[in-house]
Structure 1
Amino acid sequence: MHLLPALCAFWLLPLALALEEDSPLDCVPRRSVPYHRNNAHLFHEKGVFNYSTMLLREDLDLLLLGAREAVYALDLNNISQKLASTECKNYIRILHQTQDNRMFVCGTNAFDPECGYMSYADGNLTLEKKREDGKGKCPFDPFQRYASIMVEPNFVSMAQMPESHMSEEGDDDKVYLFFSETAVECDCYNKLVVSRVARVCKGDLGGQRTLQKKWTSFLKARMDCPVLESQLPYVIQDTYRSCDPHQPWKDCLFYSVFTPQSDTSDLSAVCAYRVSDISRVFAEGKYKTPVPVETSFVKWCINNAARKVGITQTLDLPDRTLQFIKDRPLMDQAIQPIGEKPVLVRKGATFTRIIVNQVQAADGEKYQEGTLLKAVNYDGEMFIIEEVQIFEPPEPIKILKFSNVTGQLYAGSDHGAAQIPLATCGRSSSCIDCVLARDPYCGWDQTLGKCLNLANSQRELIQSVKGGDASLCPHADPVKPMNLTIWLGGNRKLDCPSPSTLAKTSWEREGSPLTPSTRLQLLRDGLLILNATDSDGGRYRCLSVEPSKAHEYTTTVAEYQVSMASAESKDGRLILPQAQKDGPSVAGLQAVVGLLVVSLLALLAWNFYKGHLPLPWNCRKKNREQPQEAHEQGGLNTSVTYQDALRPALAEDKPLVSGTNNGGNNNHTGGEAAFSAAEEENDGPKVVLSSLQYIDDE
C-alpha cells in the first residue's frame, strides 16, 4: 500500500516558477478559487482580534476559539453559530483538554502569564476563579512563536511518539519538539538561524541537584530542507505528524513548512521526514562535542537496563551523568528529508501552517490530504488540486485544526476564523473535470451526472487519482452554439473561461485553427475581435486542452455563431443597431434615467417657486420694465439678480471671468460682483450667483 502525502499550508499563493518538468517548483494549482462567502463558514466579532488558539472538543461538538480578551464556544458543525463566550483580559495562547474534561487555558496577562481552568455546561462557558502562575507554560509576548502540549494527542509543533509500545528495551515514550535558534556550532560573522528537532523522554522529571526542574534527556539535532542552491538554511515554521493507525510508530512522517531567513528569496518549501530517521540520529548518532569512546553511544532515557541498577526515574541519575548530558545536548548529524529534497516549493508564497489528513480513495489506497492549498504527492509528483481564498482581504493563517468527526478544517487568523470542507466536489461540472481534478475525495456518478463525495455515494464512482485517466467518462453533450452579431468596424470579445489553470485554450473558425493577428487577439479567457470585417463572420469554437499522466484531453468550452451586420442596407436606407429592450442591465438603466428626469423636474419646479428662474410669461414683461427702472435708479445701487446680470453680458457679448482679474484694471462701475457675507448685509451690490465672480463691462 502506497501512502500519497498531501499538504496544505498556507496563504497568498501565486503561480510557481516555470522550470524543468520534474522540478518541485513546477507546481501550479489546477484550480484557483477566489474569495466567496460560500467557500467557508466564517466567525468574527466586531472589535475582537487575534483568533489564533483553537481546541477541538468533538465530544461536546464544540470548537473552543481563543482570541484577544475572549474565549468562544462555537458549533463544531457550523462555527458561524456562537454557543457561548466569556471575557478574559488576555491574549489567549493555550487551550488544552484535561483528563477531567475541563479546559486548561493560559493567557499573556500583560506580560505576566496566567493560567486557569474552564468548563462548558448547559450552554455556558465558566472560567474558574482560581488562577495559577503561567510562567514556563505560556509565552509572555502575545506575538512570540511557541509550542505546548499536554500528554494527549493534541499538538502543533510538538508531538508525542508511543515508543514504549511493545518495546523490548522497556523504553519510554518520547516528545519531539520543533523549533529554530541561532546556531551555536557556527562561528559566523552574522547570526545564522537553523532549524532544530529535539527529543525528550516523557517521564523526564529533571535531576536531584544538577538540572533541577530541567530536562535530563534533552537532545537536539539540525533539520535540513535544501531549497535549490540556497546559501542560507531555511527556517522551520510549523510541523504536523502524520501516522497510519494500522502501522507502527516508526512509519509515521513529520511534514514541516520552511521559509527563507533572508529577503533575497521569496520561496517557501515543505519537507517530509521519517520518524525512524529522526529516532535513529538520537539513538545512534554522535555528539557534536567530542566525548570518550566508551560514552559516545550513551543516550539517556530510563529503560530496563537502568531499572536493573536501581535507576527508576531521572531524579536517581548521578550528578556526573547529568553534567555530561548538560554539556552535550547537540548531535553532530543533521536530519535529512525524504529524498533529500522538498516535496513542494512555491515562489511568492509565505507558508505559515500545515495540516495533513488521510482519505481512502475509490481504488482502496490511502491518500493524505489537506486544504487551502490541497495537493497529492505520488511517486515524487506533487499535484496541487486547488488553492482557495477563504478570507477577504487575504491574511496569514495563524492556526489550523482538523476534525475527523466533521471532516472539516478550521483556520484562525487575526480577524476571524473559518470552517472549510475538505471535499469540494461540486466545483467540477463535468466528468472529465471531476476526474482530472484527481481529488481522492471525489468521483463522477454516471447515474446522477454529478461529481460526488465518495463518502456520500453508495454507487461505484469514476475516479483516477494516480494518473488522471478520464477515458472511462461518457461522451459529453455537445455545446449549444450562441448566436452573436458584430457590426462592421466594431469590437467584440468572445468569452472562453478555462476550466483549469493547467489547460491551454485554442480557437477554431469553421473547423480550422484560428491564426492570431492584430485584429484577432487571443486572451487568457477569450478571443478579442477588433475592427470587424465581413471575413470575421462564421462559427467559432473554443477548445480546452489539458494534459494528465494518462492522456491529453480536449473538450469544447464554448461555441459561437457570429453574424456580421452593416449600418446601411442595399436599398440605401440607414439601419442602426436595435437597442436591447429587456434584461436586468437595460431595466436598471431605464430606472436610473426615469429617476434623473423626475429629479430634474422637481429641481426646476423648486427654482420657479423660489423665483430663481423666471416664468416664461414674465420674461417679456420684465424686458419692457427694465429700461425705465434702470433710468430711474441709476447704475451704482442696482440690485443684480441672476437673469439680470447674465442677460447684458450675453446680449453685448461680454465675457464672464471666473477667478482673478488676470492683470486687468477693472476700475469700472459694477466691476466687482463678488463679496463676503458681511458686505452682502450692507446696501452694496448683490449677486445671487455664487460661481459668478467678475462681470467685465469692457
Structure 2
Amino acid sequence: MFKLDTHHLESGRLKCPFDPLHPFASVMTDEYLYSGTASDFLGKDTAFTRSLGPTHDHHYIRTDISEHHWLNGAKFIGTFPIPDTYNPDDDKIYFFFRESSQEGSTSDKTILSRVGRVCKNDVGGQRSLINKWTTFLKARLICSISGSDGADTHFDELQDIYLLPTRDERNPVVYGVFTTTSSIFKGSAVCVYSMADIRAVFNGPYAHKESADHRWVQYDGRIPYPRPGTCPSKTYDPLIKSTRDFPDDVISFIKRHPVMYKSVYPVVGGPTFKRINVDYRLTQIVVDHVVAEDGQYDVMFLGTDVGTVLKVVSISKEKWKMEEVVLEELHIFKHSSIILNMELSLKQQQLYIGSRDGLAQLSLHRCDTYGKACADCCLARDPYCAWDGNACSRYAPTSKRRARRQDVKYGDPITQCWDIEDSISHEAADEKVIFGIEFNSTFLECIPKSQQASIKWYIQRSGDEYREELKPDERIIKTEYGLLIRSLQKKDSGMYYCKAQEHTFIHTIVKLTLNVIENEQMENTQRAEHEEGRVKDLLAESRLRYKDYIQILSSPNFSLDQYCEQMWHREKRRQRNKGGPKWKHMQEMKKKRNRRHHRDLEELPRAVAT
C-alpha cells in the first residue's frame, strides 16, 4: 500500500522526464523504482536507472553516460520484472525501447527497436562502473515482412508493448506494436515474441565494434568468467556474492560489449497482424486470452492515432500461417484523437481507453451487434460470443451440456446452424423501396454484420427473370457501406440484392427496389405544383375582392373613394408586415428617440423649455 508523504520532498530527476510529452517507462518492485527516462531538460541524454529503495540502500544506479553505444536517444516503451529461474538471485528487469543507431562511416542514423535487461541485485562495480549497471545487455527486436523481390521491409519503431501472462510467470508472451520509419511505405504491425527466444539471444554471441567508423561484427575473442550479464548468485559461484566482486576483465568487457550480435525474431517468423497503406497507424495494444468452444485464442485490442480501436483475433493455420480476422473496428471518440493508453480489466470485462479528449469504457464483448440469427453469430467468429438457441450471447466454458453454436476457426454456419431454418435461409432479408430521380445520384446502403464478408451486388431488372452481377465502373461505385450510383438512368430501375459471402456460405443481407423517376416527369410535377400555388393565391385574392364588392353594393353610404382609401391602407399594412423585424426595429428606434427628446426637454429649465 502506497501513501503520500507530505513531510518530505523527492527529486524527480532520473525518475521521470522534465517534459510530460517525452516517452518514459517505469516499474516499482521490491521498493525500488526502475525508470527509463531522459535525464536532461532537452531530453537528449537518456538513461535507465534504479532509485528509491529501502533506507539502508538509497542510491542511484544508472547506465553509463560515457559510452554512446549503451543508449543513444532512447525512447522507452515498457519496463517489466521477469524472473529467469526459480532462484530469486537470477531475477531481472526487462525493458523495451527504440533508439538511434549509426552503422559504419555513414552519417545516416536509423531507428532500431531493442529489448534490454539488468539484474535486480546489480549494485555497480568496485573500481569501474561505480554506481553504473554491470549487467546491462541489449538486443535488437526484428519485425519485418518479405517483399516479392526478396528484400525485407522492417517495422523498426516500437510503439507499445504488452506482456500476456501465462501459467508460468517466467514465460509471458510478448506482444509489440511497430511502425515503419519510411515516409513512402507507411504501415503498422504486431509481432509476437517468446521469452525463451529472448533469453537465447542474451545467452548467445556478443557484438563487437572496433571504432565508430566500423560495423558491428560477432565477437570471437575470449569471454571472461563469469559470463558478462550473469547475475551474482551463491549457487552459481559462492565467491561472487555481488557485482562488486566481479573481476576487472568482466567489467571492462561489459562496458565495451553491451550489444548482442543476434536479433530476436517473432515466433511465427513475421507479423501476426499488419496494416499497410492505410490512413492510420497503430499506437496501443492489450491482449486477452479467451477460451472458446473450438480452442483458445488471443484477442488483440489495438488503438490507433485516429481514435479507433480494432478488435482482432489471429488464427493459426497450416504450416505456421496465420489468418488475420478483424472482429470489430470502433470509433471511440467523436474527433480523431490519438489513443495514448489502454488498460484491460478482466474482472469487469471492460477496456478503458485514454486520449487527450478524455476516457472511454468499452465492453470486451458486444454479441448483440452480430445480428439475431445463428448464421450471423457464427460468421462473426468472435471467441467471446456463441449462439445459445435464442440469441448471440456471451460464451462461457462450463460443464453444462447445453448446446452452444460457435466456430471461430472456420466460421462455417452450414455445419453449425444446419438445423435452424431461419439461419440458413439465403433469401430472408429486409426489403426496402427507394426512389431516385433521373440524372441524379442515389446510395444503396448495405453493411454486413461480419467484418470478413465479401459483398456482391446483383440486379433483377423489371420484366427480367434472371439477375446479373453489377460490375463497378465510373458510374457505379462500390463502397464499404453500400453502392453509389451516379447519374441515374431509367434502366437502373429494378430489384437490387446485396449478398455477403464468407467461405462457402452466401446469404442476402438486404433487398432494395429502386424506382427511377424520369426527369421530365419530375419537372412537370414541379411546374404543376407551382401553377397550383398561383391559382390558390388568385382564388384567395378573388374571394377578398368579392367581399369588398358585396360591401360596396350593400352599403349605400360606402363610396368608391372610401373603398380606394381602404385598399390603399391595406396595401401599406401589407408592405409594413412584409418588412418584418426591420420595420419593427425602425419603429422602436423612433420611439426611443421620441422618449429621449421628451426626457431632455423635461430636464431643461422651464424657461428654456418654453
TM-score by length of 1: 0.57
Quote the Cα distance in structure 1 between the aligned partners of 2:100 and 2:437: 69
Structure 2 unaligned spans of 5+: 36-76, 210-218, 303-308, 317-321, 530-562, 576-592, 594-610
* Paired position in structure 1 for 2:194: 274
CA, structure 1 residues 555+332, in 2 after alignment: closer, same or farther (shift >3 Å)?
A: same
Aligned residue for 1:323, secondary structure, equals helix
Quote the residue 2:499 is aligned against.
544
How many Å separate the matches in 2 of 1:506 and 1:144? 50
What is aligned with 1:298? 227
What CA deviation, in whole Å up to 9, does each residue of 1:76-103 have, x standing for no partner?
Answer: xxxxxxxxxxxxxxxxxxxxxxxxx12x
Please tell me whether the aligned partners of residues 97 and 115 of structure 2 are also in contact (alpha carbons under 8 angstroms).
Answer: yes
Structure 1 pair 358–215 and aligned structure 2 pair: CA distance change class (3 A): same
Residue 94 of structure 2 is aligned to residue 176 of structure 1:
yes
1:181/1:333 CA distance change after superposition, 3 Å: same
Contact 1:207 1:214 in 2 (8 A): yes
Q: Which residue of the other structure, out of 238, 259, 267, is the alignment partner of 1:338?
A: 267
Letter in 1 for 2:159: Q
Determine helix, strand or coil for the equivalent of 1:281.
helix
Partner of 2:115: 197
**Alignment correspondent of 1:382:** 324
CA deviation map 1:272-317 (0-9, x unaligned): 1111111011123334354632538823333556764422222333
1:5-28 Cα offsets, whole Å, 9 max, x none, are xxxxxxxxxxxxxxxxxxxxxxxx
For residue 434 of structure 1, the aligned residue among 355, 377, 381 is: 377
Unaligned runs of 5+ in 1: 1-100, 103-116, 119-126, 580-614, 624-642, 644-680, 682-698
Q: Deviation of residue 146 (structure 1)?
A: 1.0
Matched, 1:362 2:293: yes
CA–CA distance in structure 1, aligned partners of residues 92 and 454 of structure 2? 47
Deviation at 1:207, TM superposition (A): 2.3
Q: What secondary structure does 1:276 align onto?
A: helix
Q: What SS class does the counterpart of residue 381 from structure 2 fall into?
A: coil
Whether 1:513 and 2:467 are equivalent positions in the alignment is yes
- Give the drift of 1:147: 0.9
The residue type paired with residue 291 of structure 2 is Q
Partners of 1:154 and 1:541 in 2: CA distance: 63
**Equivalent residue, structure 2, for 1:322:** 251
* Aligned residues between the structures: 455
In structure 1, what is the equivalent of residue 405 of structure 2? 462
Mapped contact 2:226–2:250 kept (Cα < 8 A): no
The 8 Å contact of residues 496 and 558 in structure 1, kept in 2 or not, is answered as: yes
1:475 counterpart residue number = 421
Q: Is contact 1:200–1:219 with CA below 8 Å preserved after alignment? A: yes
Q: Retained in 2: the 8 A contact 1:498–1:505?
A: no
Confirm or deny: 8 A CA contact 1:361 1:441 kept in the other structure: yes
Q: Quick one: distance in 1 between partners of 2:225 and 2:164?
A: 32
Give the number of the structure whose residues are more often helix, by fraction. Answer: 2
Name the stretch that deviates more: 231-240 or 475-484: 475-484
Partner of 2:81: 160
Q: Does 1:504 align with 2:455?
A: yes
Q: 1:617 aligns with which of 562, 565, 575?
A: 565
1:557 to 502, 509, 516: 509
Shift, 1:225, TM fit? 1.5
Query: What SS does the corresponding residue of 1:183 show, helix, strand or coil?
Result: strand
On the 8 A contact 2:500/2:508 being kept in 1, the answer is no
Q: 1:399 aligns with which of 332, 335, 341?
A: 341
Deviation, 1:219, is 0.6
Structure 2 distance, partners of 1:407, 1:413, is 20
Give deviations 1:460-493, integer Å, cap 9, x for gaps: 3211111111112223263354456778999765
Distance 1:480 1:417, change over 3 A: closer
What is the alpha-carbon distance in structure 2 between the residues aligned to residue 128 and residue 288 of structure 1? 49
Counterpart of 2:27 in 1: which secondary structure? coil
Deviation at 1:416, TM superposition (A): 1.1
User: How much is the aligned-residue C-alpha RMSD, in angstroms?
Assistant: 4.1
Match of 2:166 in 1: 244
Instruction: Indicate conservation of the 8 Å contact 2:84/2:90, yes or no.
Output: yes
CA displacement, residues 372-403 of structure 1 (integer Å, 9 cap, x when unaligned): 21111122222221221111211111112111
Shift of residue 431 of structure 1? 2.3
Alignment correspondent of 1:603 = none
Give 1:664's aligned residue.
none
Matches of 2:407 and 2:15, distance apart in 1: 47
For 2:315 and 2:260, locate their aligned partners in 1 and report how far apart those are by CA, in whole Å.
32
TM-score by length of 2: 0.65
Matches within 5 A, 1:71-220: 101-102=1-2, 117-118=3-4, 128-151=6-29, 157-165=78-86, 172-220=90-138
Q: 1:187 to 1:417 in 2, by over 3 A?
A: farther
Q: CA deviation at 1:144?
A: 0.9
Distance 1:187 1:409, change over 3 A: farther
Residues 1:452 and 2:373 aligned together: no
Is the 8 Å Cα contact of residues 191 and 273 (structure 2) preserved in structure 1? yes
Q: What SS is found at the alignment partner of 1:322?
A: helix
Partner SS, residue 325 of structure 1: helix
Deviation at 1:505, TM superposition (A): 2.5
Structure number with greater CO (CA < 8 Å, separation at least 6) is 1
SS in structure 2 at match of 1:340 = coil
In the aligned structure 2, how far is the partner of 1:264 from the partner of 1:491?
36
Structure 1 residue 360: Cα displacement: 0.8
Using the aligned pairs only, state the percent identity.
29
Give me the whole-angstrom Cα distance separating, in 1, the residues matched to 2:527 and 2:184: 57
Aligned residue for 1:203, secondary structure, equals coil
- Determine the C-alpha separation between the residues in 2 that align with 1:154 and 1:209: 24
Q: Whole-Å Cα distance in 1 between the matches of residues 470 and 193 of structure 2?
A: 49
Q: Structure 2 vs 1, CA of residues 134 and 306 (structure 1 numbering), >3 Å: closer, same or farther?
A: farther
State the SS of the aligned residue for 2:409: coil
3-state SS of paired residue (1:312): coil
Residue 350 of structure 1: aligned partner: 281
- Tell me if structure 2 keeps the 8 A contact 1:260–1:268: yes
**DSSP-derived class of the 1:132 partner:** coil
Kept after mapping to 1: 8 A contact 2:430/2:509: no
Distance 1:259 1:520, change over 3 A: closer
